[in-house]
Chains A and B, each alone.
Chain A
Amino acid sequence: MSAQPYRALFRRDLKLAMRRLGESLLPLFFLFTVIVLIPLGVGPGPSLLARMAPGMIWVAALLSSLLALEHLFRPDLEDGTLEQWFVGETTVLGRVWARLASHWLITGLPVIVFSPLAAEMLHLPHRALGVMILSLLIGTPALSLVGGLAAALTLSTRGASVLLSILIFPLIVPLVIFATGAVSMAADGMNPYAHLGLLGAFTILAMTLAPFGIAAALRMNLE
């Protein structure tokens, strides 16, 4: 079996996102509105901001990733494409992976690219910058995976967006703890690799288990 159908889905998703670039980048702008509001809310003192920066950048990344999740599978459910995923010779898991990969490229990657800017706005110490980018690189795929699971679970419910954020929160707690732990350690000049290792373990766990849960939840929503 070739990987052609999955690649086609992946390319289609990316192409659609590029055609609607403004819409695709809205979560990124949302992230920056959160980053801008924090100094206005707690006061612009650099030392206070520097202490809060790791947590705030991660919380902002988490919030902005919520925005795009509701439409991860819903358009496909509405126009019937999702049902086509379950017939024919392709596996659902492959399509789920293709969809998640394109979702991460559209929502996760821009956050990583622009995170140095956010870090500078919040006076994050420069020595922690590398670890912060690394933590985002390791952590944002897990964000897409767990978010995808929540999106699949709430696919055909009423009030999906509120429910979605309630479901994600408890599942994502370890991610936030380890990621901000690593960045804070690096900011204090300590060794962040224990936290980064646990973060990587969480991402690997999500990679192994979440796609099966997503595929099962999608199937149930079609029944």
Chain B
Amino acid sequence: MIWNKLKLWFHMLGSAPYFYRFARAVAPWLWAGFAVTAVYATYLALYVVPGDYQQGDSMRILYIHVPVAWQAMFGYAVMTVLAIIALVWRIRLTEIMAMSCAPIGAALTLICLATGSIWGKPMWGTWWEWDARLTSMLVLLFIYIGIMGLYAAYDDKRKGARVAAILVLAGAVNLPIIHFSVEWWNTLHQGQTIRLMGESSMDPAMIPPLIWMVIATKLFFGAALLDRSRNELLEQDRSKKWVEMECTNQELNDVESTA
């Protein structure tokens, strides 16, 4: 019963006007949620959590750096799933959504590298180190940029999206390398201290703002993804009838009944 409803909803999402209206309705809620959780997490991180006994206040950048890094990788995983769906079932909206993930992920990766670099200067004494995790994160940035470049190089957007989806799959090999880089190569970047299962080696007092910021970045990704996909859809379909109807506030149902 509920499975059939979900299936129907998924199929309806494949329709451009339906997706457009869905994204327009949902995105503001995600943005609002992002604003609330981000502000709350920032408050906790700046005023509630005590400073580190060694690093002092500069460790507080962790609350941006870590959630953004996670989201940059999680965004790639989302893009990979969408790319597989796009390649196998050729659903146009998943092609658009997969390609909309790339600029957001690239921005998040850039923020991660920048905050890490700002953090690294006082702590490690260097802006950049050819450490395994830093290098693999830089490679992730280049993969994101390559996907964007490949998609942009095709005039036929559907063809471009499908070709770039293959590159998404090829680049997915990098994800486990980033994740395990701190375990495989024992270089400058610290090891994993936060675990979902089992004991974290991080002090419990430091966890809450991190969790709130992780929720905030997830909401940000969802909101940005819906907005980006909606814009891309609008641009590709700008000469279609439903866009005209949507922009002139006509009911689409009327068109269907007259057509």
Contacts and interface: CB of A to CB of B under 8 A. Distances in A.
Contacts of A154: 150, 153
Contacts of B170: 149, 171, 209-210, 213
B163 A170 contact: no
B150 A163 contact: yes
A190 interface: no
A220 interface: yes
Nearest to B164: A153
A22 interface: no
Contacts, number: 60
B174 A170 contact: yes
A209 B167 CA distance: 12
A154 B164 CA distance: 9
Contacts of A160: 153
A153 B147 CA distance: 10
A209 B173 CA distance: 11
Contact of A220 (B135, B159, B177): B159
Interface string B184-207: 000000000000000000000000
Given A153-B163, A171-B170, A221-B159, A166 B153 contact: no
B145 interface: yes
A210 B169 CA distance: 11
Main secondary structure of the interface of B (DSSP, over half): helix
Given A171-B171, A213-B166, A153 B177 contact: no
A198 to B, nearest CB: 10
Interface bracket on A: 20 to 34
A63 interface: no
A171 B87 CA distance: 20
A25 interface: no
A163 B171 contact: no
Given A154-B150, A163-B153, A173-B135, A220 B171 contact: no
B135 A157 contact: no
Interface string A115-153: 000000000000000000000000000000000010001
Contacts of B169: 213
Instruction: Specify which of A163, A169, A170, A223 lies most central, judged by the most chain B CB atoms within 10 Å of its CB.
Output: A170
Interface of A: 149, 153-154, 156-160, 163, 166-167, 169-171, 173-174, 205, 209-210, 213, 216-217, 220-221, 223
21 contacts: A149-B166, A149-B170, A153-B163, A153-B166, A154-B150, A154-B153, A163-B146, A166-B142, A166-B145, A166-B146, A166-B149, A167-B146, A169-B146, A170-B140, A170-B143, A170-B146, A205-B173, A217-B163, A220-B162, A220-B163, A221-B163
